Amino acid sequence: MASGTFDYLIIGNSAGGVGCIEGIRRQDKKGRIAVVSDEPHHVYSRPLITHLLDGHLSGNSMDFRPRDFYRKTRVDFFPGFRAASLDADGREVHAVPVAGGPGKVLRFKKLLIATGARPFMPLMEGLGLEGITPMITLDQSLRVREDLGQVRKAVVLGAGLIGTKTAQALAGRLEEVTLVELGDRILAPVTDPVSSGMAMEAFRKGNVEIILNNTVTAAGGDSRGRIAEVTLKDGTSIPCQLLVLAAGVRPKAELAAGAGVRIADVKTGGGIDVNTRMETNRKGIYACGDCAHAWDFVTGGMRLLPLWPNAYIGGRVAGLNMTGSEYRHTWVTNMNSVDFFGLPMVSAGFVLKPEEPGFEEIVREDEGAYAKVILKDDIIRGLIMAGNVQRAGLYLGLMRSEVRTTPFRDQLLRDEFSAADLGPEGREEIMRPIMEMES
């Protein structure tokens, strides 16, 4: 079995892994870095994979970094290798090739676990049929794209970010797309009832049927073993040749758990427990991204935040700390910016006003546009904008810097409101660079 010894070992080649490499190289130009990844690909932008389906993107245009990234950052990259076990005391990882063959022992001084998340698989009959797939990897998207010739009608289960993006991409290609959601609105984590209603209208205009308060309980197949229909909880049957499962993701934390790394209570998400330096309870072992918890500066607690910027910055902060610097990952929250069928939407922090005392909201509704800020003690703790997102950056800056809006609070959602209303101190606050805020 081949082996190697590295100053830094990273498991997972995505946002978290790249952030870590760039954090390390900012401080340590020479240390040996290795990345092990069970996917065979160069690093790609996972949030873009559904654009392979609508034809807006192809192959290399999804690269998150140029093809010479590993060479330029002097990283030993092991694509197609799965980290099968971790010995936290012995400081080594056993990696096995996904395609079979001899494995490797990778020894490390510092380790980052950035293993991401796996799709939640709902309990339903007929799961093994052809044409049923999650949508979280490049390969899954490529397989669906190859298969589209045999598909006229598709059902997407789950109306979070992954499900809605998939439904939008398929709508331009197929005769019928149905989005089935267990809750009473789509995009629930990033919308309130008004903005969700606007999104639903956009989807319906875009030829996507939406069914709420329902779920898929069974899939039936044809004589070739391919999906031919789904049955919903209320007994409705929908013919389809493709079912995309997008009912949420769960942190991939078992490698860490098996090595005695502390895992957070399943009630709070079950991700890898880290501090704000992104270090676990095992010294020198760090975690970030979808597999780990992160400090949400709005809710004031550690939680799962399965979002691309959280993974990248968490990895970068981990990398900086792995070199001996002192950085903290403390400004992230639930932040999203999306566009569905020409309806731009931005949200951050609380999307519903908490019931606790002290919270208030300011709302503005215009023809085709909606804006809401949630304040506590005049500090912005939540934001939703739909239809017109022009000043979103300004509100996010105020929110992140926790600027008290008292002097200009009543102007916040007015058309004339601009950075000029903040005064010199407020402007300086929101211009502070992100990395400075992490230190």
Site string for ligand FAD, 205-244 (x = CB under 6 A): ----------------------------------------
Q: Sign of the C-alpha dihedral, residues 267, 352, 245, 346?
A: negative
| AA letter at 123 | L
d(CA 212, CA 85): 41
- What are the structure tokens assigned to 205, written together? 């205009």
Which residue stretch of 32-40, 168-176, 215-223, 259-267 sits at the interface with ligand FAD (rule: CB under 6 A)? Answer: 32-40
- Give me the residues paired with residue 384 across strands: 347, 372
Q: Does 6 bind ligand FAD (CB under 6 A)?
A: no
| AA letter at 198 | M
DSSP 117: E
Q: Does 318 bind ligand FAD (CB under 6 A)?
A: no
Q: Does 115 bind ligand FAD (CB under 6 A)?
A: yes
Closer Cβ to ligand FAD, 47 or 248, answer by number:
47
By CB under 6 A, how many residues form the interface with ligand FAD? Answer: 37
Closer Cβ to ligand FAD, 44 or 395, answer by number:
44
DSSP code string of 30-95: SS-EEEEESS-SPPB-GGGTTHHHHTS--GGGGBSS-TTHHHHTTEEEEETEEEEEEETTTTEEEE
Which residue stretch of 111-119, 212-220, 230-238, 353-361 sits at the interface with ligand FAD (rule: CB under 6 A)? Answer: 111-119
Single residue of 306, 349, 382, 426 touching ligand FAD by CB under 6 A: 306
Closer Cβ to ligand FAD, 252 or 408, answer by number:
252
Q: Does 158 bind ligand FAD (CB under 6 A)?
A: no
Long-range contacts of 367-374 (CB under 8 A, 24+ apart): 370/194, 370/195, 370/198, 371/413, 372/192, 372/194, 372/195, 373/412, 373/413, 374/349, 374/350
Which residue stretch of 36-44, 180-188, 361-369, 383-391 sits at the interface with ligand FAD (rule: CB under 6 A)? Answer: 36-44
Which residue stretch of 112-120, 169-177, 192-200, 264-272 sits at the interface with ligand FAD (rule: CB under 6 A)? Answer: 112-120
Which residue stretch of 67-75, 235-243, 303-311, 350-358 sits at the interface with ligand FAD (rule: CB under 6 A)? Answer: 303-311
Contacts of 2 (CB under 8 A, 6+ apart): 102, 104, 105
d(CA 112, CA 279): 9
Q: Does 290 bind ligand FAD (CB under 6 A)?
A: yes
Q: Kindly provide the residue ranges of all beta strands, DSSP E only, lying in 116-267, ordered along the sequence.
A: 117-119, 132-134, 153-157, 176-180, 208-211, 216-221, 227-232, 237-239, 242-245, 249-251
Q: Does 293 bind ligand FAD (CB under 6 A)?
A: no
Single residue of 4, 31, 47, 183 touching ligand FAD by CB under 6 A: 47
Q: Does 308 bind ligand FAD (CB under 6 A)?
A: yes
Which residues here bind ligand FAD, judged by CB under 6 A?
A: 11-17, 36-39, 46-47, 49-50, 82-83, 114-117, 135-136, 161-162, 165, 252, 255, 289-290, 306-309, 311, 336, 338
